[in-house]
Structure 1
């Protein structure tokens, strides 16, 4: 190393730290990786401690420099992922205590199993970054690209689980999240991982540019994203100046605890609570919206239920509500025959004032172990939701038309977290409706993460999103991701609100999908190769 390349001052201090971390072996290496992974989860909603990503990811890269085998590289990343996913998704375990006598024993196995399974992806990431014979800046770029590819695969493989993508760490910034209208959350996550790992170069030897350049480029990138986002918002219509005329929604957040939601002696009272809140005086209400499975009965089995529900639907409008739907054995299957079995669906109905069903949607992205048990022929466990019958999946995203309101795309529960898969592009809606029941997760980070992810879909698609949750957080979000109103977690109340308009034109992400993200991944790898040649 030449004299000009010898780091001094703070650079020398960081290089000594990097060398110490690279020198860790055995359980100390894995324990630190797990701690760094858990630390990185603090950047996610609702904490938003974004700066912690730098020591977490830079520390991981420094540790990777000391790995001497493929197995060691994979296990290091797996340990980091175990901490990251366990800390970021701990709230999944709370659902198992809703019926603690039956499912409580499964909680530690579920959280550990989920985190350990997802950590396989981070293990592959560190293995890929280690296996490429490029160090320094090139390894940083390869790591960022590999992390982003693994996250994309995680979001699509099997049923997909794109929860806690690192780009959601910017959800606190209206300006930065505008970039998702251009290239989606996948690309924002790629840039976030690069920015978090770029300071690792300060712990490597090399010229001043090679040590400080990556961090400088990352800072300029996000300064550009923030500036572009502020300009976009400055040219957007002011909130309230671009609403759909003649539409006023009432969001009903009844705050029914999950422990009593399906109790037989509580079901009628839970329904009456929704009815009472819907009938509160209000000016010009055209549509009432209830959350996922707000109605604890089957419409087809309760003769007067449709009329009761229709009694709160405003004239010329509708009640939009989640409720379970059952197709009895031998019922018509829509093809002229019968299905020969009983099928259960998690559905959304549009109920007219007279009790007629104006539109119907069946959830298609079901929650494993929540709504069905995968590999049920081998796993002797029941699903967490009430009843023994697994839910069946609907046909996929569709656009519903209800009286008095523009066409909308219904999203039940976590269907709102899947980028690029929240609507039918051949029948594009004017807004997104997300009904959910986050009561399963109590006062945890889960509902905040769910809201943040759903909000990004509004920006990506250029469509307003209305979110109605049983225990919160219910919200109205415009096509720029701006919060127009909300009901906080674990509160009971109603929110009367206009419906914001959609953007006049498709966003680049809505038009091109993940093409821009794929291009950025290719560019990142190309720059990594070019940086290697200049070493």
Structure 2
């Protein structure tokens, strides 16, 4: 059986079109391992990609294999970005370009990994860990270069809250990706040349590592008991579709929905009410201008002693004149007769290119892309994320939309908050796989930090997430649902290793993983001199 597999792969990778087809299949299969698909056998794409890189005739050929696989992976994983351009029919022509250019661009990181592997890989068993290290390094770079786009890193193939995901509490999602890719790539040894026993030993080591990952995570979850705090949180999801926001009639209806859901009677009075990003299609300045009826209606819905956390665009005066615009989370407290008072503001730090600011702004404005931002100018970035402490509310780290993709934005030890609130406007992406994957990625921030995550979106998926990355007892509103979630905030767990040390373990693993490549690189260097 092993010989048949090796013969098949040799034939497939020697033909040009066979290699192209296998590379694309590898990328698509790896993407299908992610939620909402959950086809974990798709992880076998990584050993296939390793073999394709090895059998390439040159470094350039290996780069081509990696790029093709990356294009397939991000094509499946990120096709939903086209949905944002379909909200406005006048912009629909840009949808195919968005759905193809994004995978083409970020697929280069996979090409970088396979090209470096083809250049540096040693002979023998060490090549597997070198492949895992270089791939993990490329994933880390993808999440950081030019502000990064860390959508669906390999580690997030495990559904958040599952046994396989729990290693993120130790090594973060990038460390989990290193372990996952290296372990599953060890199965590629069965198709390598060399003694059968040695190849089988490498494959067995990989299976053992995967088993340890799952068993260790299962043991962690076995002792995971959700303990509620005394803070009752109401998450509001009004199910307002993005394309139906921009008329005066729609605006009136949207305000009424949020006001009615906020004031809905429940078994107990919530301490905190959370609205999503961009809940109302109006700026904070307009809604809460003196005497504005909408602000007064919101103030009547928020009860004395309650705190409202809501996402708004807001304008702030610029010293030299004009205004700066921010995408903000505003904390407002009802103080009775004096009405609502702003007690804390968090301004989004990591902005979305083409959604909140326009690279090459004048050119893009001339092409009509400015209307995607729905502001007269680009948003300005806020300071680096830091927790806020509204009166009477446990310290909280806001993460607005895209920011929940980034590990390390929440203090994990010194200055650690009690919870994370993630507000997002996933209405831009409709009933696609995007919001479901965003939920999965945001849930990894809970595992890494040991903190509960409250997630609010206009159209789904809104949820209460426990410190192990699991949705609490079906406290979830999916796409197309309107309502509220009233749930007590779970207690955080103890400081996690990742919270204390960050990516230190990841970098140690990558450095150790690259050690087997040093003799081969030294040999090539000596050959040139």
The verdict on a shared fold, with TM-score over 0.5 as the criterion, is yes
Structure 1 pair 344–426 and aligned structure 2 pair: CA distance change class (3 A): farther
CA distance in 2, matches of 1:369, 1:390: 9
Structure 1 pair 63–228 and aligned structure 2 pair: CA distance change class (3 A): closer
| Aligned residue number for residue 24 of structure 2 | 34
CA drift of 1:119 comes to 1.1
Extract structure 1 runs of 4+ deviating beyond 4 A: 423-426, 527-533
Asked if residue 511 in structure 1 is aligned to residue 492 in structure 2, the reply is no
Aligned length: 508
CA distance in 2, matches of 1:308, 1:265: 17
CA drift of 1:161 comes to 0.8
| Aligned residue number for residue 240 of structure 2 | 256
Mapping for residues 104-119 of structure 1, pairs under 5 Å: 104-119=92-107
Contact 2:133 2:513 survives alignment (8 Å): yes
- Which structure 2 residue ranges, 5 or more long, are not aligned? 523-529
- Match for residue 98 of structure 1 among 83, 87, 94: 87
CA distance in 1, matches of 2:161, 2:451: 18
CA drift of 1:28 comes to 4.1
CA distance in 2, matches of 1:528, 1:137: 11
CA drift of 1:232 comes to 2.0
Provide Cα deviations, 1:209-238, integer angstroms capped at 9, x if missing partner.
Answer: 3222232112211222222222222233x2
- Which structure 1 residue ranges, 5 or more long, are not aligned? 1-9
CA distance in 2, matches of 1:190, 1:452: 19
| Aligned residue number for residue 341 of structure 2 | 356
| Aligned residue number for residue 347 of structure 1 | 328
Q: Output the TM-score relative to the length of structure 1.
A: 0.91
- Match for residue 252 of structure 2 among 255, 259, 268: 268
Contact 1:24 1:66 survives alignment (8 Å): no
Provide Cα deviations, 1:471-492, integer angstroms capped at 9, x if missing partner.
Answer: 0111111112222121112211
Mapping for residues 415-426 of structure 1, pairs under 5 Å: 415-423=403-411
SS at structure 1 position matched to 2:93: helix
Structure 1 pair 398–262 and aligned structure 2 pair: CA distance change class (3 A): farther
CA drift of 1:339 comes to 4.2
CA drift of 1:104 comes to 0.9
CA distance in 2, matches of 1:460, 1:374: 32
| Aligned residue number for residue 357 of structure 2 | 372
CA distance in 2, matches of 1:133, 1:143: 7
SS at structure 2 position matched to 1:231: helix
| Aligned residue number for residue 174 of structure 1 | 162
Asked if residue 389 in structure 1 is aligned to residue 377 in structure 2, the reply is yes
Of 61-70 and 392-401, deviating more is: 61-70
Contact 1:48 1:172 survives alignment (8 Å): no
Contact 2:240 2:458 survives alignment (8 Å): yes
| Aligned residue number for residue 45 of structure 1 | 35
Mapping for residues 282-431 of structure 1, pairs under 5 Å: 282-284=266-268, 285-301=270-286, 302-303=289-290, 304=292, 305-327=294-316, 331=317, 338-353=319-334, 354-379=339-364, 380-381=366-367, 382-383=369-370, 384-423=372-411, 427-431=415-419
CA drift of 1:426 comes to 5.3
CA drift of 1:527 comes to 5.0
SS at structure 2 position matched to 1:325: strand
| Aligned residue number for residue 215 of structure 1 | 203
SS at structure 2 position matched to 1:311: helix
Provide Cα deviations, 1:487-533, integer angstroms capped at 9, x if missing partner.
Answer: 11221111110011112x31110110000001111222235669999
CA distance in 2, matches of 1:388, 1:108: 26
CA distance in 2, matches of 1:339, 1:392: 15
Contact 1:345 1:394 survives alignment (8 Å): yes
Provide Cα deviations, 1:430-472, integer angstroms capped at 9, x if missing partner.
Answer: 1000011111111111111101111110110111110011101
Of 481-490 and 381-390, deviating more is: 381-390
CA distance in 1, matches of 2:495, 2:413: 11
SS at structure 2 position matched to 1:267: helix
CA distance in 1, matches of 2:193, 2:42: 23
Structure 1 pair 324–424 and aligned structure 2 pair: CA distance change class (3 A): farther
| Aligned residue number for residue 88 of structure 1 | 77
| Aligned residue number for residue 526 of structure 2 | none
CA distance in 2, matches of 1:394, 1:200: 46
| Aligned residue number for residue 121 of structure 1 | 109
CA drift of 1:109 comes to 1.2
Contact 2:110 2:135 survives alignment (8 Å): yes
Structure 1 pair 262–428 and aligned structure 2 pair: CA distance change class (3 A): farther
